[in-house]
Structure 1
Amino acid sequence: MKNLFSSKKLTAMAALLMSVVLVLSACGSNSNSSIVEGKTNVVTSFYPLYYFASEIGGEYVNVVNLIPAGVEPHDWTPKSQDLSTASKAQLFLYNGAGLEGWTDSFLKGLPNDQTIITAEMSKGVELIQGNPEEEHDHSAETAEEHADHEEHGDEAEGAAADEHDHEHALDVDPHTWVSPKSAIIMAENVKNSLIQVDSAHKTEYEANYEALHSKLAALDAKFEQELSKTTMKDIVVSHQAFGYLARDYGLTQTAIMGLSADAEPRAQDLLNIAKYVKEKGIRYIFFEELVSPALADTLASEAKVDTLMLNPVEGLTPEQEKNGDTYITLMEANLQNLLKALK
């Protein structure tokens, strides 16, 4: 292993995460930002749900997407304007499974006389339990940090309450939508929620859902057929966002960072990944759009492998929106890059 990494380089690479800068693109227009009279107004927490609701709702709905294009969902929190918009809508759709740590407080902030229906779209997906990054964080606590926690117990607990809740929310992998198999379940949940709030257009919603279901089923079949032909099954990714895709299509995911995109790896974690890359003959390390690729680039350079994009499809960038990209096209691009890395 000394040919791949020195301890100084590994320490420097771990420290590099401290300066990771999220790539926050300008807010795109892939969502209306206001309520429209005469339509069923649907507020979605992030892009995949916006796409499903728009496809299924068609001309009968107005979909407002809360998280702007180019913003990493793990790091977004709602503003007062978002609360105001939701208070006038008929339906609020969120992923759940711990993705939106702000949901409970957001819903509590709605007026008491609000009749908006809220629905968790990951319901029915078999969730992946466990969060290795938390185990690392707890085990790495120093004696000094522990003593500080003891000294400032109540004060520290109060100041860190929201962060604590978010960490525990990530005891479950929230990235359900990254697998087409999960997306099929989530799209049906969207359809059922739309019918619940607007039964007058049940026939239209069901027809639109069938059209979307055909696209998602074809995508699922393509993933199954193409990935079943690859001899390699191991992928190394920058962010642990592809657990459902790996589980559903027979792959093994190794992540540099954890479930939250800004989780910091330890030097020993990087050493283990470097060894893994060498032993498995891995030729590409995957990075994603909304997080700086610096760590993936450095690891790939030291291990003498290349990098490729693997998109967690958390949102469209303005450029992707201009190109007419959708959940479907981005997942198709993901498949092509997976096949390139695994052949």
Structure 2
Amino acid sequence: MASYMNIYKGWKAVLLLLAAVLLLAGCGSGNNENKIVAGKVNVVTSFYPLYEFAKEIGGEEAHVINLMPVGVEPHDWTPRSQEILNTSKAQLFLYNGAGLEGWLDSFLKGLGSDSKVKTVEVSQGITLIASGEEDGHQHGAGNDDHHDEDGQVHAEDEHNHDHGHIDPHTWVSPKSAMIMAENIKNSFIEVDPVHREQYEDRYEQLHARLQQLDAKFTEELAKTSRKEIVVSHQSFGYLCRDYGLTQHSIMGLTPEAEPKAQDLIHLSKLVKEEGIQYIFFEELVSDKLVNTLASEAGVKTLVLNPVEGLTKQQEQAGENYFTLMEKNLQNLVLALQ
């Protein structure tokens, strides 16, 4: 009996050792994706849409590292020291700007004066949307009541990282995404002019897809009889501006900007008065307030994705910017018909 017990314990120890080795191997292979690779243009991106566009334009000449982990909402995240170190060794660091990355200033200082990395604010050239409300709440944030003075701020003139003043969600509109893709292409050419032709060819393919998406949004949303949407947080200002819609948000520019009781009462009244049938929520943000408002107003809920990042399920299913934006359009058409 004792010998059987010894054999059992021996096999148990072997299995535990094998499991540990496999776990370490898995961790090692995953971490290699976030390490600098010799012989390629190493690009670090601050969050998902930039990562996707940079991979498409960079192709085999580039190694692209995304700082933002899968399933994480970018408003909640800050980089660690290892991520700063990796970025300092890269050739390109692409960030959105317009106030999205609240950690940006300290991150750039942490790169060190000896770092050769080129930093690029990808929202440069987009006419930014200014929020006139100090606390970040805005419940008519699609068109006229969203702007200061002429309602527009140019990205090259705006370096304020305060969400309460500038709407950072530029990429949610295909029109803005086209400008961002061009900025990424230009940054690749600047750091690696030898492969200019390859970058331009791949950019043209991406640009054509974005143009098709833009045309589809323009055509489909022009047919809708309704133009008002209620969303969980104020992520869709650029989409609304470019396609003739108005958003009313439960929360402000960040999901942490909790609404006041009178905000919810106002929205519930608006939903009933306008005959709105759906309230939109997003996967990376709690849907508790959305469900509360929907229940109070007697309406249904639908997903409207700001494409700030993928969930693990979406990544496994092969979803991307284009598939998520196509689903957004389908849900908008359904809600606005």
TM-score norm. by structure 2 comes to 0.83
Q: Which has the higher contact order (CA 8 A, sep 6+)?
A: 1
TM-superposed deviation, 1:262: 1.4
* Rounded Cα–Cα distance in structure 2 between residues aligned with 1:280 and 1:31: 52
For residues 168 and 210 of structure 1, the distance between their equivalents in structure 2, rounded to whole angstroms, comes to 34
Residue in structure 2 matched with residue 188 of structure 1 by the alignment: 182
Match of 1:232 in 2: 226
Could you say what secondary structure the match of 2:271 adopts? helix
**Are 1:206 and 2:200 matched, yes or no?**
yes
**CA RMSD of the aligned region, Å?**
1.8
Partner of 1:25: none
Counterpart position of 2:91: 90
Q: Is there any run of 5+ residues in structure 1 with no aligned partner, and where? A: 1-28, 138-164
1:299 to 293, 299, 318: 293
Could you say which residue in structure 2 is the equivalent of 1:246? 240
When normalised by structure 1's length, the TM-score is 0.81
Secondary structure at the counterpart of residue 127 of structure 1: strand
d(CA) in 2 for partners of 1:85 and 1:322? 26
Whole-angstrom CA distance in 1 between matches of 2:284 and 2:79: 18
Q: Does 1:59 align with 2:23?
A: no
Distance in 2 of aligned mates of 1:186 and 1:101: 19
- Range that drifts further, 51-60 or 312-321: 312-321
What is the match of residue 74 of structure 2? 73
Aligned to 1:14: none
- Structure 2 runs not aligned, ≥5 long: 1-29, 139-158
- How far apart are residue 32 of structure 1 and its match? 2.5
What amino acid is the match of 1:119?
Answer: V
Partner of 2:152: none
Does residue 257 of structure 2 align to residue 256 of structure 1?
A: no
SS at match of 1:134: coil
**Larger-Rg structure:** 2
- 1:275 partner amino acid: K
CA 31–239 in structure 1, closer or farther in 2 if over 3 Å, else same:
farther
User: Which moves more between the two structures, 320-329 or 29-38?
Assistant: 29-38
On the 8 A contact 1:132/1:258 being kept in 2, the answer is no
Contact (CA 8 Å) 1:40, 1:61: kept in 2 or not?
A: yes
- Which of 212, 215, 231 is matched with 2:209 structurally? 215
Q: Which amino acid aligns with 1:195?
A: I
Match of 1:40 in 2: 41
* CA spacing shift, 1:271–1:31, aligned 2, 3 Å: farther
Cα distance, 1:136 vs structure 2: 6.2
Structure 2 counterpart of 1:108, which letter? Answer: K
Q: 1:112: how far off? A: 1.6
Task: Name the counterpart of 2:8.
Answer: none
Matched-pair identity in %:
64
Post-superposition offset of 1:111: 2.3
